[in-house]
Each structure stands twice: as structure tokens, then as C-alpha cells.
A and B are shown apart, each in its own frame.
Chain A
Amino acid sequence: MVQITLTVNAEPVDAAFAPYKTLLEVLREDLNLCGTKHGCELGECGACAVLLDGQPVLSCLVLGVDCGGRTVTTVEGLASDGRLHPLQETFADLGAAQCGYCTPGFLVTAKALLDEHPRPTRDQIRDALSGNLCRCTGYQQIYEAVEAAIGQAGPKGPALRDTRTDASSVRRPGPFGPGTDQSR
């Protein structure tokens, strides 16, 4: 067993674990933070993404013993003071989660993008998220959710129930939205 002290989701944590464990395994098995998912254990799918000192990493490729004194943010740490992170809001608003298994990895990766590039273009979003695999959504609702969170990322996000109806921000006609013709 090895013992380290690190900061996880803004809390100092002492962790004792077998030295061969990855950060993913330490988080899930020793710190009981199961929000971060295992998808391949090969660094290929992004389901295990977390922020290490603010940078997105694949926690299945990071050894737990290398995390002493460092700062880890997982999906469980995105909300603060009972408020969801704006990305969590927009992911729900725009249907960016289906089965939800890849969602934690996308959320933290997108957070890292917005922290570094507050106004990314869609191509930048595509590139930033291309290490995260989603088999359900086809990604478009994920891009849109990230775009919708632009300008909102910061310590004070909106409340959980978002009832804004900013139709003027619509870029192209909604295929199913109100006012589009659906020939019956």
C-alpha cells in the first residue's frame, strides 16, 4: 500500500491504495467517486477523463502514486455551492446525454476547453472533444451544449431550472421546434 495526500474536488484527501492502481481505480475503488467511468482502460475512449491540476487527463493512464500533492477534479466536483456548472445545465437542456456513460468525461473535457478558451469555435470544440467517444448522441447535441455554455462558465452559474426562452439565439431553423411545418 502507498499513502498520498491530494486535493480532490477542492477537498484535501488522504488516500491509501495498492501502488499499481491507476488514478481511475483509486478514484472509483478507494475514494468512492464512481462518477468517472472505465470504458477501455487503454486511453482510447475518454470515459475516464478527469482534470489533473486543471488539465484534462485520461485517468486510466495516470498512476495513482503520481498524484501526491496534486489537484484532481472529477464530475462530482463540477457543481459548486449546490449549483450545477453551466455545462451540466446545457448538457441537460440540449439532450447531450443519452445513456450518460461518456457524459462525465465529456463534461470535464469541455470544462477544460472553456477554462482555456472561453469562446471556442465549433471546430475547436470538435477538436477538443475528439478524444472522447460517444456512441449514443452523434455528438451534435454535445457541441451545441458546449456552445450554449459559452460565456456562462464562471463561479456563478444559473440555477437548476432554466426557463430562459432566448429564441433569437437560434442560428438555423429548428427541425422540430414550434413554428416549423410538420406536414400531417
Chain B
Amino acid sequence: MRRRRWPVADPNTTPYVGRAMKRIEDPRLIRGEGTYTDDLRLPGMVHAAILRSPHAHARIRKIDTTAAKAIPGVVAVLTGADVNASCGLVPCAAAIPDLKAPKHTVLAGDRVYFVGHAVAVAVASDPYIARDAIEAIDVDYDPLPVVTNAEDAVKIGSPLTHPDLGSNVAYTHNVSGGGNIDEAFRKADRIVKHRLYHQRLTPMPIEPRGVVASYHTGEGTLTLWTATQIPHLIRTLLPGMIGVPENKMRIVAPEVGGGFGAKLNVYPEEALIAHLAMRLHTPVKWIESRRDNAAATIHGRDQVGEYEVAVKNDGTILGLKSKTIADLGSYLQLLTPAVPTLTGLVLTGCYTIPAVKMEIVGVYTNKMATDAYRGAGRPEATYLIERLMDVVAQELKIDRLDLRLKHFPAPGDFPFPTSCGLVYDSGNYAAALTKAKQLANWDQLLKDRAAARAAGKLSGIGVSTYVEICAMGPSKAMPAGGWEWGCVRMEISAKVTVITGVSPHGQGQETTFAQIVADRVGVPIEDVVILHGDTSVAHYGRDTYGSRGTAVGGTAIVMCIDKMIAKAKTLAAHLFETTSDHVVFENGRFTSPGVTNRVITWPELAGEFYVAKNLPPGLEPGLEASSFFEPQNFTFPFGTHICAVDLDRDTGHVKITKYVAVDDCGPQINPLIVEGQVQGGIAHSIGQVLFEQTIYNEDGQLVTGEFMDYAIPRAHDIPDYILGSTVTPSPINPLGVKGVGEAGTIGATPAIANAVMDALEPLGITHMNLPMTPEKVWQAIKTKT
């Protein structure tokens, strides 16, 4: 054995929290025994395949399903005319004033609006026949003018994505705060302007989406297994679409193979497959192909903006103005219009910027909808503020770290109200920056860069200091409530069953929650089971997204434990013949010093609670508690990422030579899991900065429809990371935790991009759009040398 960065935690040693425990999820996953949606088989199950539009915008003149229906084994072939009246509209939960929204039916009506738009569905006895059947459907399309560029879409005379809306503009949203923005710009010595483009990305979880639906005709109950992050939100929203009441609907998220926001949605297929199971009186399965995943599962980002910073010559930033155009695609999915507004919320990053104004214009184009992809709005904000800090430093010839440090709020300034209207909970931004510099050996990095440049090489260093929004969130800020629910039950055997309303899909909360529970209840971690992802087990919940699982869901469980222990103390006091305030609970033992030498442990108490023959008057049998936790604020993790790159002059290839990340997510329940989240997040950024871009051509054809064309990072693209952390607890929850699911993706994109731009700076290159592909870098070098 060559390397192990920490000893494997001994499962017999407590406390569990704070230690790199092996994951409880892993034994099934490393044996190939996880049950994902595609692994489900039900008796009598039939298979659906969906025909999708090859046109970005067209009128459907006629659909002929005769040949498809004639194929042996085909059960049904249905179009929008057959199902839309029974399936309701695909919901958008975002509340934006004056939002113009198109009607989003589960199958196309008389028009298609993007390549991949679902047009018809075939159901057959096996998936092969279903796929043959959709190929036999004859659709007569009349192609219409297409718009795929959001900046073109707002121009007068542009083709309209939805002609009935009269405009491509879905909404205009203004964020402004702090002092008077006009005065800030009047007082400025200089106004630094920059245009930034945040390209469209495809989330590409390795497991595509999939749905299995089963309807019990006698009971009128529907069970829907779906590869989703949000079984509970689906249970809230699907009844309005298909007419099955919420309390007769069970949504199960089985093992889910990655989400990254792509599965944070209510998709047409979820309603459609449920409807088919009801209509055909037999279970129906639909599994998405990779090409369908690229075309018809949400995309992310796609914002372009002009930014202006008002600065004094000493570097003091007085104000920030921006106008952003956000490309929404053709339809509103669950949170589509809300994502760009999140950008506005953290526009000022981790800096004191006294005045801010941002206009966001959400625009329809003939493309797939954008929605919340890992980070959702915060990566866009962080990229733009961190690029702007470098641009300002460069224009004013100020050290870029000094410029950042000058605008950090001090640790004593927290809770820190920002000009964008948030109150950052806690932070020590300079500490993270200092630690990252140490880990990166900053002075040596500068020397190495100087030496490399002297030798004619293109070498650069990039930094980003970020803050982001996690633990979503206070209900007042979330469309469908932001609380979380949990339940903790001690069984008669003293085993502990925990039910959570969050729905982890790779984040490891079966482990981290068990660590929390085992410590607080004082039982061995093997005795704790975490149940999740099934609405008939976890009756209520608000699911997993926005790094909310542990900070919000974990806190609900802590509240349950507190209630359960309080109840147990009442019985212990009864058995000790004293009062609860004389009972001490510690490490799973109840004692009453000064009253008795007797010790009561959980097995004895649990037995008493369930046989219920010796309970004090008024105490209910059973030992279980449930809680809803309503957070009073978001949490705000932060950190510093430093990246060093070398550019190959001949090929334009960017090689990351050093990557340092210091992230502060508060206390870490399981450092192994935190590290994995950070590393995975950085990989998404490496993809975004260096390779990834969802491309539609001018006809609206999706060019990046599979992994050969959409380049997510592979093993050989990833450098060795040096990771560190600082720990600044959040005051918002009793665990002090902040969340870490998106930090890597938020902090890393600007660090890598800044490094590439720093390498190009000696050539006088000051701007390059993402992604900074070898071709683009090579072209830029070529034009300057």
C-alpha cells in the first residue's frame, strides 16, 4: 500500500463526527448491488420510448402513427392530442413578477420549440420494439424561423420563440441595493468595463433520467420511481398534473446516479409515464438515452453581461453595475427564471461594495431550458466578480490580493449585510486566503512564474476568493418552503431508525447523518439506519439541492434527537423515582447523581417504552420524535482557490501545474466526504473553463449531443489537488455546518480562468470567452505573436 492520507476511522471509537468514516453506502455500491431506476423490473411492465423533434422550431402539420401501431408488440402510440388534456402543464415554481410564460405541455401540441421536444410516445412489450415504433411514426413538420442566440433574440425583428407571447423577453428583473449607484459612478476616478460570457453547460450525470410508474387501479394509488433529487417536490406538484391526490401518490427516488441539478426538476416524462401506467393499467418504464439526456434534460448557465465597476485610483470600489442577458431556452422548467436572479444575490462576492445595480433580462430561445446546474447562479456571479477584481487590479496596477483583502469584511463585521440584500452569517475570508497562499507556497509560485516568463513560457497564476449561498433555505426565500423534516425512532431493540426528508444521491448522508445520530444518541453507528427518498417512508421533505442536506436536514434530525432524549429522561426519572431535572444523559447512559447509583441504558428504556407497563401518568408509549426545521437564514461558505497553469504556445493546451483550494464549510462531519465534494466540484470547473460548452448551431441543431462532442473532464485532465480548510461555524444551525456541495464549482471556475488570463497577460490579451479551449488559446496567442 502506497498512500493513505488518513487512517481509516475505527468504527469502535467515538465521537464519530469529524472523522473520515468509510461510507455506509459503499458496501452495496462497490458490489454493483445498488438499485437504480433502470434496475427495477415489475411484473407486466411495458416500455416507453419518446419521439423527439429534429427541428428547433416547426409547426406540426400531421402525425401519422398507423405504421407504428401495426408493429407486433406495440401497446400504444400516443401524441399530444391524446395525452396533454390528462397530464396538465409542466410546472415552474419560480415567482418572478410580470413573468411571461408559455404553456408547457408534456408532449408538443401543434408546434415544437427546440430540438429534443417530445412529440409522441410509443409503448411496447420491450424497449427495442418501442424504439422501432417511434421510428415508424411519420411527422410532417413545417419548419419555422429559429433564434438560438439570446442577444439576437432581444433585437427588434428577431424570430419569436413563442409567437403568441409577442416577445422573446420573459422578464426583466432588477437588483439594486446599498447606496446611490449614480452617485457612486459620479465619484469614481475611473470606470472599468468588461463583458463576460458564461457559456451554456450540460450537467451530464452518468446515470441518465428514468421513470417507472405503477398504478393500482383498485386502490387508486400511484407509485412512481424516478431518478430524481426531489421526490417530495414531485409529490407536491404531480397531483396537479395527473389528478392523483397527493395522499394516494408515492414517489420513490431509488439509488440515483448523480444529479448536479439536472434531476432537480419536474419533467414532462414523470407525468407522462405516470399517465400511461394509469391509462394502460400496467406498469410502464422509460429510460432516457444519452442523446435524449443531452437534448431534453435541463442545461445550465448561459448568461452574458456587460459589467461596470466604479473605482477610486487607490483601488476602492464604489459601485458595480451590470446588465445580464440570461438565455432561458424555450420553456420554463421548475426554477428556470429564478436561477439568474440568484446571480444577482451574490454579485458583490465576498467584498464590501457600497452600491450595486443589476438588470437581468430572461430571454426565450429555441433551445432546451436552462435551470439549476451545480451552483445555480452563484458560479456565474463568482466568475464575474472574480474576473472583474483581476481586471480592476490590472488596470489600476494594484496587487490583486491586496485589492481583495482591502474589500473583505473583517471577522468582526459578521453578520455582514451586503448591498445585494443578504446577511452573510459568519466568515473569515482573510484566513482562508492566507492559508491558501501558504499551501500554494505563493512567493515561490511568483518566482517560478517570473522564471518561466523569462524563459519565454506562458505561465500564469489565478486566484479566486468566493462566498456562496448554501443551506437553502429560509422558507420566505424558497418557492415551496425551505424547511426540512426528520424523524428519529428508537425501536424496541434499541436500534435507531432515522427518516430524513432530504434525498441524497451520492452525497453520503446515510453516513454523515449516522455519525451525527450515533454521537448524540450514544449508540454504535452500526445500530443507526438512515431512510430517505421514499415519500411513503419520509412523509414530508424538501429534498436535496443547494447544499441543504446536512445544514437543514441534519438540523431537523438533531431537533428530533433532543426531543427523544427529553422524553427518555422523563421515563428515566420515573424509574429513578426522581424528576427529569435530576437525570443526566451522557454517552447513551442515564444517571441521577446524588439520587441513585443506578444506570439506565437505552435497551432498558426502549423496552419500557414499548411494553408500556411502567410509564408515568401522561407519558405516551413509544420512543420517536419528528421535527420540522425552519432555518432563519442561508449559510455562506467561502474560501480561496489558487491555480497555476502553463500554456503550450504550439498547441494552446492549458496544463494546470498546481491547484490549491481552501474551503470553509464550517465544522466537517466527515472530511473524506467533504474532500470528495470539493474535488468533484473543481472537476466541473475544469470542464467549464477548459472544454465544456453546449453548442447549438444557427439552425438550432444540438451539436453537443453526446460525450464525444460534449467534453466532460476525463481522468487524465485532472491535476493533483492540494486541499485545505478553515473552520468558521455558522450561527444559523446547531451543527454550525454550512454545506459544501457546490463550493468547488463556484470557487474554481474563476481561479482557473484568471490563471489562463494571467498567462496571456504579457501578450496583451485581456479577454477570452469561456471555455478556453486549446483552439481558442492558440488563436489568441497566434494573433499576438
B and A form one assembly: yes
Q: Which residues of A contact B (CB under 8 A)?
A: 18, 20, 28, 33-42, 44-45, 47, 74-76, 78-79, 84, 88, 91-95, 97-104, 107, 122-123, 125-127, 129-144, 147-152, 160-167, 169-172, 174-178, 180, 182-184
Give every chain A residue within 8 A of B726 (Cβ-Cβ). Answer: 182-184
From known contacts A176-B725, A184-B727, infer whether A138 and B679 are also in contact, taking CB-CB under 8 Å. Answer: yes
Within 8 A of A (CB), among B667-685: 668, 671-676, 679-684
Q: In the complex the two chains form, is A176's CB within 8 Å of B31's CB?
A: no
25 interchain pairs, CB-CB under 8 A: A34-B35, A37-B36, A39-B206, A39-B290, A42-B291, A42-B707, A44-B707, A76-B31, A76-B33, A92-B30, A98-B258, A98-B507, A98-B676, A99-B205, A99-B257, A133-B712, A136-B506, A148-B2, A149-B1, A167-B7, A169-B1, A169-B4, A175-B675, A176-B675, A183-B727
Residues of A within 8 A of B289 (CB): 41
Contact A148 B4 (CB under 8 A): yes
Could you list which residues of chain B lie within 8 angstroms of chain A, going by C-beta atoms? 1-8, 10-11, 20, 22-23, 25-36, 38-39, 128, 203-208, 255-260, 287, 289-291, 428, 431, 435, 505-508, 668, 671-676, 679-684, 706-708, 712-716, 718, 720-728, 744
- Chain A residues lying within 8 Å of B508, measured Cβ to Cβ, are 98
Which residues of A sit under 8 angstroms from B38, Cβ to Cβ?
28, 34, 37-38
With a 10 A CB-CB cut-off, give which of B11, B25, B676, B725 has the most chain A CB atoms: B676
Contact of A136 among B28, B208, B680 (CB under 8 A): B680
Q: Is the CB of B31 within 8 A of A40?
A: no
Q: Is the pair A169, B2 in contact by a Cβ cutoff of 8 Å?
A: yes
Chain A proximity of B73: nearest CB distance (Å): 12
> A131 CA to B707 CA in the complex, in Å?
11
Contact B30 A47 (CB under 8 A): no
User: Do A101 and B715 have beta carbons less than 8 Å apart?
Assistant: no
- Measured in the bound complex, the distance between the Cα atoms of B712 and A176 in whole Å is 28
A99 and B8 in contact (CB under 8 A), knowing A39-B207, A135-B712, A142-B715?
Answer: no
A27 CA / B309 CA spacing, docked (Å): 59
In addition to A97-B25, A138-B683, A144-B3, 16 A-B residue pairs with Cβ atoms within 8 Å of each other are A37-B38, A41-B290, A42-B708, A45-B290, A45-B707, A74-B32, A75-B30, A97-B29, A98-B258, A100-B26, A131-B714, A134-B206, A135-B203, A167-B6, A176-B6, A178-B7
Tell me whether A139 and B505 are in contact in the complex, defined as CB-CB below 8 angstroms, given that A101-B206, A172-B722, A182-B725 are known contacts.
no
The CA of A144 and the CA of B291, in the complex, are separated in Å by 32
* SS of A interface (majority): loop
Q: 5 closest pairs, A vs B, by CB?
A: A35-B32, A101-B257, A100-B29, A99-B506, A176-B671
Our pick among B5, B10, B428 for the contact of A174 (Cβ within 8 Å) is: B5
B30 in complex: contacting residue of A91, A99, A165, A166, CB < 8 Å: A91
CB distance from A128 to the nearest CB of B (A): 8
- Is the beta-carbon distance between B32 and A101 smaller than 8 angstroms? no
Most A Cβ at <10 Å: residue of B20, B30, B259, B744: B30
A93 touches B721 (CB 8 A): no
- Which A residues are in CB contact (< 8 Å) with B207? 37, 39, 99, 101
Which one, A42, A101, A161, contacts B706 given CB within 8 A?
A: A42
Are B208 and A126 within 8 A (Cβ)? Answer: no
Chain B residues with CB below 8 A from A75, complex form: 30-32
* Contact present for A133 and B4 (CB under 8 Å): no
Do residues B258 and A99 form an inter-chain contact, with CB atoms below 8 A? yes
For residue A39, give the distance in angstroms from its CB to the closest CB of chain B.
Answer: 5
Knowing A42-B707, A100-B25, say if A94 contacts B431 (CB, 8 Å).
no
Residue of B whose beta carbon sits closest to that of A171:
B3
Contacts of B721 in A (CB 8 A): 138, 140
**Which of chain A's residues have a CB closer than 8 A to the CB of B720?**
122, 140
Contact of B10 among A45, A144, A163, A177 (CB under 8 A): A163
* Residues of B with C-beta under 8 A to A136: 258, 506, 676, 680
Interface of B is mostly: loop
Residue of A nearest to B29 (CB): A100
A135 touches B206 (CB 8 A): yes
CB distance from A96 to the nearest CB of B (A): 8
**How distant is the Cα of A178 from the Cα of B205 in the complex, in angstroms?**
33
A166 to B8, CA, bound (A): 9
Residues on the A chain within 8 Å of B31, using CB: 35, 75-76, 78-79, 84, 88
Chain A hits for B684, CB < 8 A: 135
Tell me the complex Cα distance, A75–B39, Å: 15
Complex CA–CA separation, A166 to B726 (angstroms):
26
**In the docked arrangement, what's the CA distance between A98 and B10, Å?**
21
Q: Which residues of A contact B723 (CB under 8 A)?
A: 175-176
Q: Say yes or no: B2 contacts A147, CB within 8 Å.
A: yes
Chain B residues near A183 (CB-CB < 8 A) = 428, 431, 435, 726-727
Evaluate contact between B206 and A98: CB separation under 8 angstroms: no
List the A residue with the shortest CB-CB distance to B26: A92
**Are A177 and B506 also in contact (CB < 8 A) when A40-B706, A98-B676, A170-B5 are?**
no
A101 with B36: CB separation less than 8 A = yes
Which residues of chain A are within 8 angstroms of B725 by Cβ–Cβ distance? 175-176, 182
With the chains together, A135 CA to B745 CA distance in Å?
A: 12
CB distance from B686 to the nearest CB of A (A): 8
Name the contact of A91 in the complex, choosing from B26, B205, B507 (C-beta under 8 A): B26
Task: Quote the shortest CB–CB distance from A133 to chain B (angstroms).
Answer: 6
Known contacts A183-B435, A184-B727; A144/B258 CB under 8 A: no
Q: Which one, A20, A40, A139, A149, contacts B707 given CB within 8 A?
A: A40
Who on chain B is nearest to A149 by CB? B1
- Cβ of B128 and Cβ of A18 under 8 Å apart? yes
Closest to B671 in A: A176
Cβ of B506 and Cβ of A42 under 8 Å apart? no
In-complex Cβ contact of A97 among B11, B30, B203 (8 A): B30
A184–B258 Cα gap in the complex (Å)?
Answer: 32
* Complex contacts, A182 vs chain B, CB 8 Å: 725-727
Given the contacts A135-B204, A140-B721, A175-B722, A98 and B680 also touching, CB distance less than 8 Å: yes
Q: Contacts A95-B23, A163-B8, A176-B668: A133 and B714 contacting too (C-beta < 8 A)?
A: yes
A100-B506, A132-B715, A144-B3 are known contacts. Are A93 and B8 too (CB-CB below 8 A)? Answer: yes
A142 to chain B, nearest CB (A): 7
Chain A residues positioned under 8 Å from B290 (CB to CB) = 39-42, 44-45
Q: Which residues of A contact B11 (CB under 8 A)?
A: 161
Q: Whole-angstrom distance between the alpha carbons of A88 and B28 in the complex?
A: 10
A42-B290, A177-B6 known; A104+B708 contact, CB < 8 A: no
How far is it, in angstroms, between the C-alpha of A134 and the C-alpha of B708 when the chains are bound? 15
Q: Which residues of B contact A92 (CB under 8 A)?
A: 22-23, 26-27, 30
B20: contacting residue among A74, A129, A152, A176, CB under 8 A: A176
A174 proximity list for chain B (CB < 8 A): 5-6
Q: How far is the CA of A36 from the CA of B36 in the complex (A)?
A: 11
